[in-house]
Every structure is written in C-alpha cells, then in structure tokens.
Amino acid sequence: MKNKNDIRSLTLDELTSFFQKNSLPSYKAKQVYEWLWKKSCLSFDEMTNISLETRKLLKNKFVINHINIDRFQKSNDGTIKNAIALFDNLFVESVLIPTKNRTTACVSSQVGCSLDCEFCATSKMDRIRNLNPDEIYDQVATINSQSLNYYGKPLSNIVFMGMGEPLLNYNNVIEGIKKITSKTGLGMSPKRITVSTSGISKMIIKMADDNVKFNLAVSLHSAIEKTRNEIMPFTKKFPLNDLKQAIKHWYSKTKKIVTYEYIVWNNINDDDEHINALVDFCKFSPSKVNLIEYNSTENSLFNSASDNIIDRYIDALEKNKIPVTIRKSRGKDIDAACGQLANKLK
C-alpha cells in the first residue's frame, strides 16, 4: 500500500486545490490549514468545524506526522528536556530553558550530526537525516505549550543550538522558521530567533543574500586556525579567513551583529595568544561574545579553564569595547546543557 503524504507538506494553495478538485469549499482549506499550523492539531478528529465526511476524506488521503514526547525530564533549575520521537521512530532532543524574564526553546535541526567537534556529545552520533520543517515547527509549538503550562508565559526566544548543524539543513530550517514566524503559524518575531552555526561560510553568505531577519551566532572557540582545526576538524574545509569574509558579508547585508559562542578550556585556548586572537577577530565586523561554561561530555582532553583565565578574556574584550557575556549552563544534571544532547536519558 502506498504511503500517504503528510498533509503539512502541502502549501495553502496546494491544499486549496485539493479541496476544489474534490468539490469542497475553498474556505474550508484555510480552516484545515489553521488547524494544522496555528492550532498545532495532531489529529483530523480535532478539526471540529470540519464535517465528518471531509475529515474522513482527509484521513484516507493524508497523515499528520506529528512528533511525540517519548521521555520528559525536569532539571533542578527548572530546565526541561524532551526526548522527541519522530514518525519514523528516530529521536532528537529539545530543551526549554526558563529564566526570570524569558523562556527559551533550544531546538534540533538534524537527527545526529555530520560534524566532528571533539567537545560535543552530538558529534559522536551519526547524522541519520535532516528534520522536516514541520518537525522543527513542532518542537517549538511543544515547548511553547510547556512554557505556558509550567511557567505561565509564552515562549520568548528560540535558539537553533540543539542537535545538528542548522546550515546543513538550510532549506528545511528556513521553511520551519517561516512557519514559526508566520501569522498563520506561531507568529513569533524573527528578532527572537537565533540560528547557531559551527561556521559554514558559504551558507552564511547565502543567508545574508536571502535577507533573513533572524540573528546569527557562530561557534568559534578559537581564532587561531591550528587550534580550531584540532578541536573542530571539519573546519579545515572552512578556514577562518573564509569565515571572516562571510561574516563581513552578513553584516553588510543585514546590519545585524554576529555573536561568537566561545568555550575556554584548560591547556587549549587559555593563554594570551588565544585571548589576543579573539580580540583581533572580533574587530573586523561588529560583534559580541558569549563565554560559555563547558559541560563535560566524557572527553578527558577537555576541562574548563580557571576563573582567572575567564576574567582575563573578559578584561581584554571589555578594554577593546567588545560586548561580552558569561553564559551559565542550565540543565546539566539531566544532560541538557550546551554540547550534551545525544539522546542519552538518565
């Protein structure tokens, strides 16, 4: 038997055309579309303003391949981690991070990852497939519901910092964001969305040329080529000079400053040479730096640098008028912190 198409793969025009071909009112297609996206409907049976006969037709022709929360964990600090079951029995993880003034969704873009960052647990998994736009959307809709249920406020921010490299699933990530920001979807502002990349230069250029409205973060971790190649071997294909030119292009097109995500490790990038290299790298285009707390992934080569070294980074950046923030990790007790997502639930 032929597999049914996921109805959410249809555009509104395609859905309207289906209704017309089946001698059904066009406006009903808009109602179904609203159920699918704005109301995050999981079943045709939930579409109460659609006739039973029409729902039966939809069931016969289509499926809704929605995600399910397979396992749920809540950290001592309030962070929530979801193990998300996809329609084909694969899994990804997503995280809700609550703070006093906001709630942030950390979403995944791929099942596994094709990159080889030595310090990241996800990189030890094979990349099995890209997530579809609806699977990306569903993560956000699910976390938005959790934010309302547990913290009494809607989701305020979204970061693509979960499993996978978003720019290696570019088209689906862009389509997912379009739905998230659409008035027919969740209606979130693109200014509240950040896409984080490990530095795929040519795709940063494409994003800029596509005139995207969301924010860009780059996982840098070293502005010295040799060190960066050692801790992130794939970057040999994306040298720092190419990354620099891509970020210049990004700013010239979007006028949005880039955020550099940067972890400081003992005996890796904890000296003046690395501090000065980061300062110099930040100067060529407007930027800010997030110094991220390292979260153990059972690789003995990586250990957090001392507070003294972190302070030296902060002093050097501030003296050069480069905004810097210390980003404390959340959800470490449930392996939900940055770099720890690997479908490993306790």
Q: What is the DSSP string of 186-212?
A: T---GGGEEEEES--HHHHHHHHHTT-
The stretches of 37-155 forming alpha helices (DSSP H) are: 52-61, 133-151
Q: Give φ, ψ of 157 to 5 degrees.
A: -140, 155
Calculate the alpha carbon distances from 226 to 30, 222, 237, 240 in Å: 54, 9, 13, 10
Calculate the alpha carbon distances from 344 to 122, 253, 340 in Å: 10, 40, 9
Identify whether the C-beta of residue 162 lies closer than 8 Å to the C-beta of residue 112: no
Nearest-angstrom CA–CA distance, 137 and 318:
38
| Token pair in block for residue 255 | 């006028």
Nearest-angstrom CA–CA distance, 91 and 176:
18
Sign of CA dihedral 20, 26, 28, 34: positive
Residue 120 a catalytic site member: no
DSSP letter at 10 equals S
* Residue among 106, 120, 282, 338 flagged as catalytic: 338
Cβ within 8 Å of residue 47, ≥6 positions away: 31, 32, 35, 41, 55
* Residue among 93, 135, 165, 261 flagged as catalytic: 93
From the number of C-beta atoms within 10 Å of its C-beta (0-12, 13-18, 19+), residue 48 rates as exposed
Residue 93 a catalytic site member: yes
Q: How far does CA 176 lie from the centroid of its chain?
A: 11
Cβ within 8 Å of residue 232, ≥6 positions away: 115, 116, 117, 118, 198, 199, 219, 221
Which residues are designated catalytic? 93, 338
